[in-house]
Amino acid sequence: MKLIFGDGLIVSARDALEIIWRKGTWRIGVRAKRTALLIAVFSLGVHVEARSFYQSPSQSKPVSKAQTPVNEPVDSRSGAEKTGGTAGDSTATVADTKPSQVEVASSSMLDDCAAQSPVSSTPQSPPEHKWHYGGFVDVGYLLDFNHPENRVFRSRGTTWHVDRPQINMAAFYVRKKATEDSRWGVELTAQGGKDAELFGFSATAPNIGGFKFLRQLGPTNVSYLAPVGKGLMIQGGIFSSFIGYDSLYAKDNFNYTRPWGADFTPYLMMGVNVSYPFTKRVTVTFFVVNGYWHLAHANNVPSWGGQAAISATSHLTVKQTVLVGPHQTNTAFKFWRFLSDTIVEHKTEKRTIASDTIFSTEQVDAPGTPRAWFFSTQLPMRWQLRPRWAIAFRPEVAWDSQGRWTLARQTVVAFTSTLEYKLPYKSSTTIFRLEHRYDRSTGPDGGFFRGRAVSPGVIGLVPSQHLLVFATIFTFDR
């Protein structure tokens, strides 16, 4: 290999190093391969500096790829490999000579060293744990300005006790996600608290056998990622509902109390679901479940449905879900319940705005066979003010024409505002929420409890209710 500096030339081989000067030659025998390599590399830097020094003013400075003129071809070779030069270039006479065996041997040695060098210095991330476990405790105090004697938030399935601190929910879970490397997944969740006493049951159908045990289970299922196309996910057991924007667990929601549409549609489902990502933006799911409410047994005919989840853009997501099946003793098709749920969410790093509209109907097997309707819509919004601070707002409307969902023929308008502070510590997070909620219910059976009983077992109703909520949620996940 030849390395040029000014009027000189360095020739390096495995056991010898030659320094050639235009007016003479000195030979220095070096038996250490590493010494020859280091001197050669050092001389390369000298050669680069010398070329810059001897470059004539008429020669243009080298430009980067971004600065290369459009009409000028880019030479991918380095300057040291270019053998051509101007008549005044003193290095041309030496560089144009034919390589000797010593030069070839030296070049081969350097190539071997380069081949043994690390290709990338990027640190490898540690492998992700397959199993995760965690839990949470949710404590809330709902101050009701109506101060009802029975301390009940009327027509509710969650956070239904007021004027007294309550552990509304506590849970512990173990999870393993199904992946291509490990295709079986497992999710086990044990839960308890005030919210577990009412959610999942029906106001118009009997309870399922074993409900006292089943209500203590959150998402508990087995999944398998089948090697079909892009991956077919199969899941069976108790799993999170495909209906609604809000979770059963307040820690996962923008607000502490849940909207009307969430409390009267399933939080959990029991059955089997299959999902498949047709494209990077479209995932379709089909499910078969035991009924509208997973802890109720209206009949022996299952309900079924599906969901299409579409990522329209990197910030906009649309989900459309349908559910059909009988929720009465009479399972004739004309008495089936039909439900549609449409969710549109626009999410950025600091702001999320969504809409969730639920529409459901069924013909009632009763004298006159009236048709019952349920409609709810909400507009949840959340702003991340700082890493630990956030605010959320939720206006909503709900309507139950025959009381088949809320047990009251009523129209409800509500507005909820929430201030949140998160305190992380290692693998745990403590969430503090201060919330105000206003509900107004009108209609033949509308209203909220207020004050003392007006007659034995009967508490008076008023159309409006103000709640001031204080909540602390402790979570950990490993």
User: 457 to each of 164, 453, 460, 463, how far by Cα in Å?
Assistant: 20, 7, 10, 19
Look over the chain and give the mean of its residue pLDDT values, rounded to a whole number.
Answer: 82
Which residue reads 């003392």 in tokens?
Answer: 452
pLDDT in tens, 305-345: 999 999 999 999 999 999 999 999 999 999 999 999 999 99
Percent of the chain as helix, strand, coil, to the nearest 5: 15, 45, 40
User: Residue 225 forms beta bridges with which residues?
Assistant: 233
pLDDT at 397 over 50: yes
Which tops the pLDDT comparison, 109 or 226? 226
Q: Please tell me the predicted confidence (pLDDT) of residue 80.
A: 38
Domains of the chain: 1-58+100-111 (no CATH), 135-477 (2.40.160.10)
Question: Which residue, among 237, 232, 235, 289, has the nearest Cα to 266 in the 3D structure?
Answer: 289
pTM value? 0.73
pLDDT at 167 over 80: yes
Q: What does R_g of the chain's alpha carbons equal in angstroms?
A: 37
Q: Please tell me the predicted confidence (pLDDT) of residue 71.
A: 37
Contact 17, 28 (CB under 8 A): yes
**What is the average per-residue pLDDT within 441-467?**
94
Distance CA 246, CA 354 (A): 11
Contact 193, 170 (CB under 8 A): yes
DSSP 197: G
**Measured over all CA atoms, what is the biggest interatomic distance in the chain, rounded to whole angstroms?**
122
Q: Please tell me the predicted confidence (pLDDT) of residue 125.
A: 58
**Those residues with Cβ within 8 angstroms of residue 21's Cβ, 6 or more apart along the chain or in another chain:** 7, 8
pLDDT in tens, 399-426: 999 999 999 999 999 999 999 999 999 9
pLDDT at 62 over 60: no
Torsion angle in degrees (nearest 10) through CA of 27, 28, 33, 36 = -80
Distance CA 246, CA 253 (A): 6
pLDDT band at 155 (very low <50, low <70, confident <90, very high): very high
Q: Please tell me the predicted confidence (pLDDT) of residue 124.
A: 61
**Those residues with Cβ within 8 angstroms of residue 209's Cβ, 6 or more apart along the chain or in another chain:** 297
Distance CA 143, CA 161 (A): 10
pLDDT at 257 over 50: yes
